[in-house]
A and B are shown apart, each in its own frame.
Chain A
Amino acid sequence: MGATPEAIAEFALRMGDNCLILGHRDSEWCGHSPALEEDIALANTALDHVGQAQLWLGLACEAEGKGKTADTLAFLRDASGYRNLLLVEQPNGDFGRTIMRQFLFDAWHLPMLKALVHSSDKRVAEIAEKASKEVAYHLDRSTDLVVRLGDGTRESQTRMQAALDFLWPYTGEMFLGDALDDELEAAGIAPAPASLRPAWDQHVNRTLAEATLKAPDKSYAQKGGKRGVHSEHLGFILAEMQFLQRAYPGAKW
């Protein structure tokens, strides 16, 4: 049994919006990072994510079949139309929090994409195949930095622990399924979110132990992003990201 085109479109939005919003957040560091190399690395990560967003949003348009483009979805949708996880829209904070957010996301993103490579929808599988190779590099980098900063100086360790404490409540949403997830799983389009938890736990726990950091003992999950209920931060991101197209509709490079 296949999934409906609407379900595929909605799923593509969820994947694409994660990439777009995290890509935008990462790009906010451009010119502000603590070191030139890190500035460049974050800009490159942002570029990968925005490219991946373009592929997913393109698929969303194709599945929906209403003649929209990835650009109209990115620039002309309001916050309630966005389907990204709350985790990726959280403010950058200090460099440590940005790296921790990236790490917690990458550790979910890679197993998700690896599972999607086997999706029954060929278009989903193709995007996942492409993106997973890039994301493997993201996870390498964020893992390495979490260990170096966690097991670093007293200052960097304190900041990384604070980042982990702040972001932890936003990680649970990655593994919560809803009716759409059930439909996608039944159709072999995407894995059940909960099925990604063991791989994430294993990688995150191992890395945090090496980084001398301790995951909070709380399991409460902030949720809503996947169905368009966002924190107050998303509106501010969109105000900046969409300003040009809103003020000058149809403006081109």
Chain B
Amino acid sequence: MNVAAITRPRLSQVWSWLAEIPDPEIPVISLIDLGIIRDVAWRGDTLEVTVTPTYSGCPATGVINLEIERTLVEHGIEKLALKRQLSPAWTTAWISAEGREKLSTYGIAPPQEGTAACAGALMPLTVACPQCGSTKTERISQFGSTPCKAHYRCTECLEPFDYFKSI
């Protein structure tokens, strides 16, 4: 009889624990919503969690790894290995439907897929205001409060807002 099999929590259980960890910078969405947990697997008695960074320089990466470790240790995981995976590179297409909904409610316009930057041609983009829903908005800056967001302004309700850039 395999003793390890009894003490090893099921992977679906591990995924649901990870789904409770908020993104440090946008705490309304979880790491699972964000699509950065690429794999969870048992290698013998070690739980291997594969994480991909959103942006190369994202300062949240370190905090995210700490949070994953803390959460899983709290749930009794003794041997844990965090694996960084660069390829395939993270894309906003991996943000879940639920995550997009939460972003919008929070006041961040969710990314529009297929509009990523391409070789110096600024794409005209209609982004609906997450506050009032108007499409009469304008881009203030392509880089907002973090590299992953652009800064917009609604010309109808006059509120500034962040747009999560497609990447």
Q: List chain A positions with a Cβ less than 8 A from chain B.
A: 23, 37-38, 40-41, 44-45, 47-52, 54-55, 106-107, 110, 125-127, 129-131, 133-134, 136-137, 139-141, 143-144, 203, 207
Contacts and interface: CB of A to CB of B under 8 A. Distances in A.
Interface in B40-82: 53, 55-59
Given A107-B120, A134-B167, A207-B120, 16 more contacts: A23-B57, A37-B141, A44-B146, A47-B55, A47-B57, A48-B147, A51-B53, A51-B56, A51-B58, A55-B86, A125-B87, A126-B86, A129-B87, A129-B89, A136-B119, A140-B120
Contacts of B145: 40
B35 to A, nearest CB: 14
B56 to A, nearest CB: 3
Contacts, number: 98
Interface string B105-121: 00000000000111111
Contacts of B59: 47
A184 B135 CA distance: 49
29 contacts: A23-B57, A40-B144, A47-B55, A47-B58, A48-B57, A51-B55, A51-B57, A54-B56, A110-B119, A126-B89, A127-B86, A129-B87, A130-B56, A130-B86, A133-B117, A134-B56, A134-B167, A136-B116, A136-B117, A136-B118, A136-B119, A137-B147, A139-B119, A140-B117, A140-B121, A140-B142, A141-B142, A143-B121, A207-B120
Interface of B: 53, 55-59, 86-91, 116-122, 140-147, 151, 165, 167
Nearest to A203: B120
Contacts of A48: 55-57, 147
A141 B55 contact: no
B89 A44 contact: no
A207 B140 CA distance: 21
Contacts of B144: 40
A133 B88 CA distance: 12
A-B residue pairs, 9 tightest by C-beta: A51-B57, A51-B56, A136-B117, A41-B143, A37-B141, A143-B120, A47-B57, A44-B143, A126-B86
Contact of B56 (A37, A106, A131): A131
B140 A37 contact: yes
A156 to B, nearest CB: 17
Contacts of B118: 136, 140
Nearest to A48: B57
Contact of A133 (B58, B142, B167): B167
Contact of B141 (A40, A47, A50): A40
B88 A129 contact: yes
A52 B119 contact: no
A144 B122 contact: yes
Given A37-B140, A136-B116, A143 B56 contact: no
Contact of B120 (A55, A131, A139): A139
A226 to B, nearest CB: 22
A140 to B, nearest CB: 4
Given A37-B140, A40-B141, A52-B57, A134 B147 contact: yes
Nearest to B151: A37
Contact of A143 (B58, B122, B143, B167): B122
A139 B87 contact: no
Contacts of A137: 117, 142-143, 147, 165, 167
Of residues B89, B120, B122, B145, which shows the largest number of chain A Cβ atoms within 10 Å of its Cβ? B120
A253 B147 CA distance: 23
